[in-house]
Chain A
Amino acid sequence: MGPFTASEPKVMIPVGNRPILEYVVGALVDNGVRDLVFVVGYRRERIQSHFQDGKAFGARILYVTQSKQLGTAHAVAEAKPHLGESFVILTGSNMVDSRFVADLLQNAGKPSVMITESEHPRSYGVVTARGKELISITEKPVEIISNLINTGAYALDSRIFEEIDALAKDGRHDLPSAVSTLAQRTAVQAVRTEGTWIDALYPWDLLRLNAAALKDAPQVRAGTIEPAVTIRGRVAIGEGCVIRSGAYLLGPLAIGPGCEIGPNAVLLPSTSLGKGVRIGALTTVSNSILMDDVILGPSSVVQDSVVGSGVSARAGLLAASGPGDVQIEGEWHPVPQVGALLGEDVEIGNGVSVAPGTVVNERARVESGARLRGTIPAGAVVL
């Protein structure tokens, strides 16, 4: 997530125009869970500014700042003074629905872990269970023993703190280990769910989350819509937007407040525009996330792309989709359909073309006429 987390914690990355964490809060509140403790660290101010005391979300939120980012068990231990006898633990960066939380709550009272099938078990903790009873969780196994993974969502009670304290003495601070040792002492349920649980491992995964989020996008029309605008499907247009004549909007789309969509611009599914985004005349955007304050000049094409907050591109940006090999932390990942991954505050001149799968890290500056491929480092200047 590097290019998009320079000033934003991962949980605050927007999909369907709401931070991922907001879906988690919504699913909890839907199930009547309103007393929430957020254990925060990196760029916690962004989370606190958005959620405040939780009132606007129907919840009451207390914040605990994790003094050192040691691990998930340590995070839970830091929240201990605010937790009652039993509680549930969720990861703020995994999108879940109310069904998922309902299944989790069904098992409250008995220690349990929510599990799901995954195509990439190697990237997660793999779960071994006997029937419905957890035996152990193995982090990122070399050998694939099962495709059942730990979602990082648990229903627990205060017994877990003994395990956490014991492991901490050995310098281990991860919650799956604590839950595994708890399972040796008492029954821990491994619960499968039909509910939604989506993790974004890589930036292009965000497009999947975005499409899922937009399925339930509300139909809202606010702001000024000039004559001869075509709107089809589920389209949410935020307050203070101006949609210029000739624009063609095909839902599902979420357009945040204060956006300006230029004359004859085309927005195709499933696209989210954050706050204050400006799309120039004759520009086409499809299946993409444009975060807050993005400016796209006229006559541009942006497909299957993730565009970070504050990115500005002058006329004629070409970020068309295609099969691409994306390099993340030195490892290459073939992605069948991908456009550009443009990090926060990237500045792009006129007539720049970006090959599918190109990653431009935050605050890079690209001069007019450049052709980009591969990975551009943060703050770089491309001539």
Chain B
Amino acid sequence: MCGIVGYAGRRSALPILLDGLKRLEYRGYDSAGVAIVGSGLQVFKDKGFIANLEAQLPPLDGPTGFAHTRWATHGPPSKVNAHPHVDCTGKIALAHNGIIENYVSLREKLEARGHKFVSQTDTESLVHLIESYYDGVIEEAVRKALHDVRGSYAILVVHADEPGKVVGARNESPLVVGLGPDENFLASDVPALLRYTDKVLYVMDKEIVVITPKGVTIQDLEGRPVSRESQRITWTLEDAEKGGFEHFMLKEIYETPKAIHETLLGRLANLEVDGFLSKDITSVKLVACGTSYHAALVGKYIIEEIARIPASAELASEYRYSQGPSEQPLVILLSQSGETADTLGAAREARRRGCKTLGIANVVGSSLTREVDKTLYTRAGIEIGVAATKTFIAQLVALYLIALKMGQDRGTLGYDELDRMKDDLRALPRAAQYVLNKADEIRALAKKYGSARDMFYIGRHVNYPVALEGALKMKEISYIHAEAYAAGELKHGPLALVTKETPVVAIAVDDPTYEKMRSNMGEVSARGSPVVAIGTEGNRELPKFVDDVITVPDIPWIFSPVPVSVALQLFAYEVARLRDCAIDRPRNLAKSVTVE
């Protein structure tokens, strides 16, 4: 399996070829190379990834050429075996995808006639064969040569003396032509072309194609012209990457169970949390911005509840400029990208204060990981949607791991208790899946409440920051004004804003604060507000005094932020979708905030 891309046009070919090659990397990548015809033929190749080639590439300029990524079949991956291959005159370059079956006999014949071979590949025999037939018109030489060849191939050929022309041919290996204005393309597969054109035509077996900036001609191996209709590709590159989902955000919400698995992987059984040791820690400060700050706030409750260590959370942009008290907490810094400017500043400030630092980041090798003593990676996978979803959940999972580890090291958790909590963590992917299975119900609620202008979110204890995050999601992507309060704070002001026009989302899972939540929900519904409660499966009384219930599975309450967050993310997503918002790229926002 190899991938090829060719270009004949008016622009510089190189960047187009490299971009196309990257889209074909899935077809194999042990070496790569390019051939450019500008002022003469220039060839450059090396083993390794395409990025490797790109890093070493001299500036090759010319409007015609092709590139190749190789997956070794004949001859090990090496610079000399990489494509393109050139003939003895150094004027013809060829890249090949497939296998030439009779290359041994071809090679013997050609060597007998004085051709010099430099590689062990089956491909090289073909370029010398073409050379032997060359008589001023490259496609004629290719056509004659292919009569002598047995095997499968998709090839691209250029000749130094015929600039502006790329010849292709195929037999049992794919080759597609992309049609542009004043430029044309050849590739093994459509994604390599999609950025430049959606008009393609397919080359069939035993056909030769010639592209120039002005046009495309196809002939069969007997030299008879072939006419072929072009087709329009109806999908986009981004569609392909979204894997059938409407938005990256939705795709990423559905990746939550996987993100949890990955974050727990290999860490749970023996609580090996990337070498993190919790000895000599007397208190914890969690510092972050935005969604990560909400994870930090949840972390405060988790660590205090499970490990019984005093913990507090602070915004990175505030922490940086505050006066540090004399105590020296462990400072945990959270940033999905690891590039958040304020969080990086806070990490430096924590070190200046003489604190130990632990980073929680998703992007491997990011700046944060160089500013802290130790890093715990969340391994949630790349997140493209601007609104953080699966990475928030993965941050929570990382915090549970840290809390369990601290609880174990400090002896605040007994062996049985620890064992049970590990099983509770193991159940979290299923808890997230439970909510994902309720997507249809959540969509129906989004329809019912999505036209509101304002919304309120309330919760208590560990689910108070989850309410903050739920409201932030709603604001970010649906542009509905959403505010979250600790439910106990309602009476201290916000209740004045509650009317029958303002739906209230209440997190009321079965936990020690449930009774209090029940009276808070009573307060708002008494003022006419519709109440959507997030409640525990099996709670029979909840549906009787609220308007709607989204259920989450019956798991120990300290872990409830995971399924509740998934429910609130889906709710925000469905509302934004109904309102036709630019979900993956909300206005005025960027994925990672690298300015202060």
Contact residues in A for B189 (Cβ distance below 8 Å): 34, 60
Q: Interface 1/0s, chain A 284-298, versus B by CB < 8 A? A: 000000001101000
CB interface residues, B 242-298, toward A, < 8 Å: 242-245, 251, 254-255, 258, 261, 264-270
Contact residues in B for A276 (Cβ distance below 8 Å): 261, 264, 426, 429
The answer to whether residues A258 and B261 also contact, given A44-B244, A60-B189 and a CB cut-off of 8 A, is yes
Contact residues in B for A293 (Cβ distance below 8 Å): 426-427, 429-430
Known: A53-B240, A312-B423. 15 other contacts (CB 8 A): A7-B437, A34-B189, A38-B244, A48-B245, A49-B258, A51-B243, A55-B26, A60-B190, A61-B244, A224-B266, A242-B270, A258-B261, A295-B423, A309-B433, A345-B430
Are B240 and A62 touching (Cβ within 8 A)?
yes
Partner of A45, one of B190, B245, B430: B245
Q: How far is the CA of A310 from the CA of B267 in the complex (A)?
A: 19
Interchain residue pairs with CB less than 8 A apart (5): A45-B254, A60-B190, A292-B261, A292-B430, A310-B427
Is A171's CB within 8 Å of the partner chain B? no
Query: CB-nearest residue of chain A relative to B425?
Result: A276
Query: CB-nearest residue of chain B relative to A309?
Result: B430
Are A278 and B423 touching (Cβ within 8 A)?
yes
Is B235's CB within 8 Å of the partner chain A? yes
Partner of A275, one of B174, B261, B433, B436: B261
Contact residues in B for A240 (Cβ distance below 8 Å): 265-267
Is A167's CB within 8 Å of the partner chain B? no
Contact residues in B for A275 (Cβ distance below 8 Å): 261, 429
Q: Of A44, A45, A345, which is in contact with the most chain B CB atoms at under 10 Å from its CB?
A: A45
Are A63 and B427 touching (Cβ within 8 A)?
no
Is B48's CB within 8 Å of the partner chain A? no
Q: How far is the CA of A84 from the CA of B433 in the complex (A)?
A: 37
Are A257 and B437 touching (Cβ within 8 A)?
no
Are B251 and A48 touching (Cβ within 8 A)?
yes
Are B269 and A242 touching (Cβ within 8 A)?
yes
Are A292 and B429 touching (Cβ within 8 A)?
yes
Are B240 and A312 touching (Cβ within 8 A)?
no
Q: How far is the CA of A258 from the CA of B269 in the complex (A)?
A: 8
Contact residues in B for A107 (Cβ distance below 8 Å): none
Are A295 and B426 touching (Cβ within 8 A)?
yes
Contact residues in B for A43 (Cβ distance below 8 Å): 437
Are B430 and A53 touching (Cβ within 8 A)?
no
Partner of B234, one of A55, A60, A81, A292: A81
Is B180's CB within 8 Å of the partner chain A? no
Are A258 and B266 touching (Cβ within 8 A)?
yes
Q: How far is the CA of A6 from the CA of B258 in the complex (A)?
A: 18
Q: How far is the CA of A307 from the CA of B89 in the complex (A)?
A: 67
Query: CB-nearest residue of chain B relative to A50?
Result: B258
Q: How far is the CA of A278 from the CA of B258 in the complex (A)?
A: 17
Contact residues in A for B240 (Cβ distance below 8 Å): 53, 60, 62
Partner of B251, one of A32, A49, A309: A49
Is B133's CB within 8 Å of the partner chain A? no
Q: How far is the CA of A275 from the CA of B1 in the complex (A)?
A: 31
Q: How far is the CA of A34 from the CA of B188 in the complex (A)?
A: 11
Q: How far is the CA of A32 from the CA of B27 in the complex (A)?
A: 11
Partner of A84, one of B202, B244, B426: B202
Q: Interface 1/0s, chain A 44-74, versus B by CB < 8 A? A: 1101110111011010111101000000000
Q: How far is the CA of A63 from the CA of B251 in the complex (A)?
A: 13
Contact residues in A for B243 (Cβ distance below 8 Å): 48-49, 51-53, 61, 63
Contact residues in B for A55 (Cβ distance below 8 Å): 26
Is B108's CB within 8 Å of the partner chain A? no
Q: How far is the CA of A62 from the CA of B251 in the complex (A)?
A: 15
Are A48 and B426 touching (Cβ within 8 A)?
no
Q: How far is the CA of A309 from the CA of B437 in the complex (A)?
A: 14
Q: How far is the CA of A241 from the CA of B265 in the complex (A)?
A: 8
Is A304's CB within 8 Å of the partner chain B? no
The answer to whether residues A49 and B255 also contact, given A293-B429, A312-B423 and a CB cut-off of 8 A, is yes
Is B241's CB within 8 Å of the partner chain A? yes
Q: B588 to nearest A CB, angstroms? A: 30
Q: How far is the CA of A257 from the CA of B429 in the complex (A)?
A: 14
Is A2's CB within 8 Å of the partner chain B? no
Contact residues in A for B241 (Cβ distance below 8 Å): 53
Q: How far is the CA of A239 from the CA of B434 in the complex (A)?
A: 26
Is B191's CB within 8 Å of the partner chain A? yes
Q: A218 to nearest B CB, angstroms? A: 19
Q: How far is the CA of A239 from the CA of B261 in the complex (A)?
A: 11
Q: Interface 1/0s, chain A 24-42, versus B by CB < 8 A? A: 0000000010100010100
Contact residues in B for A295 (Cβ distance below 8 Å): 423, 426-427
User: What 10 pairs across the A-B complex have the smallest Cβ distances?
Assistant: A240-B266, A63-B244, A310-B430, A242-B269, A52-B243, A240-B265, A48-B244, A55-B26, A260-B269, A258-B265
Contact residues in B for A6 (Cβ distance below 8 Å): 437
Q: How far is the CA of A278 from the CA of B244 in the complex (A)?
A: 33
Partner of B26, one of A58, A63, A223: A58
Q: How far is the CA of A40 from the CA of B245 in the complex (A)?
A: 12
Are B265 and A257 touching (Cβ within 8 A)?
yes
Q: A305 to nearest B CB, angstroms? A: 19
Are B266 and A239 touching (Cβ within 8 A)?
yes
Q: B517 to nearest A CB, angstroms? A: 25
Contact residues in B for A49 (Cβ distance below 8 Å): 243, 251, 254-255, 258
Contact residues in B for A58 (Cβ distance below 8 Å): 1, 26-27
Q: Interface 1/0s, chain A 221-259, versus B by CB < 8 A? A: 001100000000000000111100000000000000110
Contact residues in A for B434 (Cβ distance below 8 Å): 7, 345
Query: CB-nearest residue of chain B relative to A243?
Result: B269
Contact residues in A for B426 (Cβ distance below 8 Å): 276, 278, 293, 295
Q: How far is the CA of A278 from the CA of B423 in the complex (A)?
A: 8
Contact residues in B for A61 (Cβ distance below 8 Å): 243-244
Q: How far is the CA of A224 from the CA of B270 in the complex (A)?
A: 10
Contact residues in B for A40 (Cβ distance below 8 Å): 244
Q: How far is the CA of A278 from the CA of B429 in the complex (A)?
A: 14
Q: Of A34, A53, A82, which is in contact with the most chain B CB atoms at under 10 Å from its CB?
A: A53
Are B251 and A257 touching (Cβ within 8 A)?
no
Q: How far is the CA of A32 from the CA of B71 in the complex (A)?
A: 14
Q: A348 to nearest B CB, angstroms? A: 13
Q: A240 to nearest B CB, angstroms? A: 3
Q: B412 to nearest A CB, angstroms? A: 23
Contact residues in A for B202 (Cβ distance below 8 Å): 84
Q: A83 to nearest B CB, angstroms? A: 11
Are B265 and A239 touching (Cβ within 8 A)?
yes
The answer to whether residues A257 and B427 also contact, given A45-B245, A84-B202, A242-B270 and a CB cut-off of 8 A, is no
Q: How far is the CA of A260 from the CA of B265 in the complex (A)?
A: 11
Q: Interface 1/0s, chain A 153-192, versus B by CB < 8 A? A: 0000000000000000000000000000000000000000
Q: How far is the CA of A310 from the CA of B191 in the complex (A)?
A: 38
Q: B381 to nearest A CB, angstroms? A: 10
Query: CB-nearest residue of chain A relative to B437?
Result: A7
Q: Interface 1/0s, chain B 157-191, versus A by CB < 8 A? A: 00000000000000010100000000000000111
Q: How far is the CA of A38 from the CA of B189 in the complex (A)?
A: 18
Contact residues in A for B261 (Cβ distance below 8 Å): 257-258, 275-276, 292
Q: How far is the CA of A48 from the CA of B254 in the complex (A)?
A: 9
Q: How far is the CA of A60 from the CA of B436 in the complex (A)?
A: 26
Query: CB-nearest residue of chain A relative to B272?
Result: A224
Q: How far is the CA of A60 from the CA of B27 in the complex (A)?
A: 10
Q: Interface 1/0s, chain B 422-465, versus A by CB < 8 A? A: 01001101100110110100000000000000000000000000
Q: Interface 1/0s, chain A 3-32, versus B by CB < 8 A? A: 000110000000000000000000000001
Q: B591 to nearest A CB, angstroms? A: 20
Query: CB-nearest residue of chain B relative to A242?
Result: B269
Query: CB-nearest residue of chain A relative to B26?
Result: A55
Contact residues in A for B1 (Cβ distance below 8 Å): 58
Q: How far is the CA of A257 from the CA of B243 in the complex (A)?
A: 24
Contact residues in B for A45 (Cβ distance below 8 Å): 245, 254, 436, 439
Contact residues in A for B427 (Cβ distance below 8 Å): 293, 295, 310, 312
Q: Interface 1/0s, chain B 341-353, versus A by CB < 8 A? A: 0000000000000
Contact residues in B for A60 (Cβ distance below 8 Å): 26, 189-191, 240
